[in-house]
């Protein structure tokens, strides 16, 4: 938080971005189209009792039904509250596989956080599928769906059963970070080489309270990585966040090689470099996001890295990743982000749509886009794989002091894959 220019007028979170997607042009007809929905939400250790459907459905409505994404990647943070020290310690030791010590501190085997969230999401996806089946069409790939219904299901489920439309292929937790990946039934046999890895960057640089979970999979030959990250908080921790992010992506690349498409989602915790909260709140109320984004720490880091790259003709030999500056520049240069058209997603008063600017302890919180979804397309795959962003938005759910963010990507696969 910062102490300058306290806001005296309430500032509501208003998602005014229009998501009227032209699905005919967004997803061309053809069997080689794959849609990937990605979402991130820091739930602040809260018990979520509200319906997740507005988040999962936002932007997917179309005339006559709902567009069902082929892949759904969900990244949650703080599923274990930061103030819940016993559970934090227990899950951290579990992540480090120090099981015997962990059992004396916290019996994590009886904690059903992962199972509870998986059930919650599965129930919501069933509801989404039911919404879709009420329309005249499930997706633009209706013909493929009809062919699928003629094929006997090896898992014994009925093709018409909404609860069997999505299969969970990844369910991985590291302390408060939880990754879930679901794939539509018709793509399940084409999803291969699934693996996960988690990396801690928190306490002493290795603590599991911060860090990322990487989930790798191939879908019809497309090599994908879904990275769910939670970086260090604080206005002044820019360099720490840069360091952690670059180390995570480098480590993931070293361990599992290059991918065609990486989706990076999470509470990256980058803040706004403003010293006047009143002005920031006025800009939010007037939806003047371009001015705010000019002070966004992540946007500035990415712009600076690209400017440096353009100015250095010999920058191609930047494989000296032992140098922190070179590694961070390389990391920031390859990251891409769709245009932000929604208000800052942090910090809000839980169970409201109002920003928590002036707190009871006298601390002033500067609103910020802490929750982001970035992507990286491999340079050697860019010519053969067409990746496009269909939408990038936030949803006004109420339980947490963060708002959930979502994005939908469309990928055209090679004809010969």
Kindly give, in sequence order, each residue whose CB lies less than 8 Å from that of residue 192, ignoring residues fewer than 6 positions away. 217, 218
Share of the chain above pLDDT 90, in %: 56
In angstroms, what is the C-alpha Rg of the chain? Answer: 21
- Whether 284 has a pLDDT exceeding 50, the answer reads yes
pLDDT band at residue 362 using 50, 70 and 90 as cut-offs: low
Q: What is the pLDDT of residue 311?
A: 64
Q: List C-alpha distances in Å: 30 to 413, 414, 415.
A: 10, 11, 10
Tell me how far apart the alpha carbons of residues 384 and 71 are, in angstroms, rounded to a whole number. Answer: 20
What average pLDDT does the segment 143-164 reach? 52
Q: What is the pLDDT of residues 16-51, one digit of tens each?
A: 666 888 888 888 776 678 999 999 999 999 888 899
Tell me how far apart the alpha carbons of residues 310 and 326 are, in angstroms, rounded to a whole number. Answer: 14
Q: What is the pLDDT of residue 93?
A: 52
- Whether 92 has a pLDDT exceeding 80, the answer reads no
What angle do the packed helices 238-256 and 324-334 form, to 10 degrees? Answer: 80
Q: What is the pLDDT of residue 103?
A: 38
Residue entry with tokens 């709140």: 281
- Whether 143 has a pLDDT exceeding 50, the answer reads no
CB 78 within 8 A of CB 399: no
pLDDT band at residue 90 using 50, 70 and 90 as cut-offs: low
Q: What is the pLDDT of residue 357?
A: 86
Q: What is the pLDDT of residue 2?
A: 43
Q: List C-alpha distances in Å: 67 to 70, 187, 208, 251, 340.
A: 9, 15, 36, 35, 22
pLDDT band at residue 358 using 50, 70 and 90 as cut-offs: confident
Q: Mean pLDDT across the chain, nearest whole number?
A: 82
- Whether 274 has a pLDDT exceeding 80, the answer reads yes
Q: Mean pLDDT check: name the lowest of 111-125, 130-144, 260-274, 286-300.
A: 130-144
Count other C-beta atoms under 10 Å from residue 21's C-beta: 17
Q: What is the pLDDT of residue 152?
A: 41
């Amino acid at each position: 938080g910062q102490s300058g220019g306290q806001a005296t007028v309430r500032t509501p979170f208003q998602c005014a971005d229009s998501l009227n997607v032209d699905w005919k042009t967004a997803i061309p007809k053809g069997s080689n189209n794959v849609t990937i929905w990605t979402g991130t939400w820091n739930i602040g250790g809260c018990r979520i009792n509200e319906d997740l459907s507005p988040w999962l459905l936002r932007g997917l409505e179309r005339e006559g039904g709902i567009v069902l994404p082929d892949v759904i990647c969900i990244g949650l943070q703080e599923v274990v509250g930061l103030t819940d020290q016993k559970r934090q310690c227990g899950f951290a030791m579990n992540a480090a596989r120090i099981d015997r010590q962990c059992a004396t501190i916290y019996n994590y085997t009886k904690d059903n956080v992962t199972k509870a969230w998986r059930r919650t999401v599965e129930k919501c996806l069933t509801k989404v599928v039911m919404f879709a089946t009420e329309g005249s069409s499930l997706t633009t790939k209706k013909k493929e769906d009809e062919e699928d219904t003629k094929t006997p299901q090896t898992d014994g489920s009925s093709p018409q059963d909404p609860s069997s439309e999505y299969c969970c292929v990844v369910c991985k937790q590291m302390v408060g970070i939880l990754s879930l990946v679901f794939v539509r039934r018709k793509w399940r046999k084409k999803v291969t080489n699934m693996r996960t890895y988690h990396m801690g960057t928190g306490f002493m640089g290795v603590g599991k309270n911060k860090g990322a979970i990487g989930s790798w999979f191939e879908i019809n030959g497309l090599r994908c990585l879904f990275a769910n990250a939670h970086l260090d908080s604080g206005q002044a921790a820019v360099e720490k966040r840069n360091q952690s992010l670059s180390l995570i992506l480098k480590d993931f690349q070293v361990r599992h090689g290059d991918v065609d498409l990486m989706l990076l989602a999470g509470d990256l915790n980058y803040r706004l470099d403003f010293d006047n909260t009143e002005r920031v709140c006025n800009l939010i109320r007037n939806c003047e996001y371009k001015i705010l984004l000019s002070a966004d720490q992540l946007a500035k880091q990415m712009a600076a890295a690209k400017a440096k790259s353009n100015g250095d003709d010999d920058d191609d030999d930047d494989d000296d990743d032992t140098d922190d500056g070179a590694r961070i520049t390389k990391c920031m240069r390859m990251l891409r982000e769709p245009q932000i058209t929604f208000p800052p997603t942090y910090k809000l008063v839980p169970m409201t749509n109002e920003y928590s600017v002036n707190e009871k302890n006298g601390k002033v919180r500067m609103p910020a886009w802490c929750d982001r979804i970035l992507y990286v397309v491999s340079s050697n795959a860019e010519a053969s794989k067409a990746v496009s962003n269909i939408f990038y938005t936030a949803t006004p759910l109420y339980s947490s002091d963060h708002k959930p963010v979502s994005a939908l990507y469309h990928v055209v696969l090679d004809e010969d894959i």
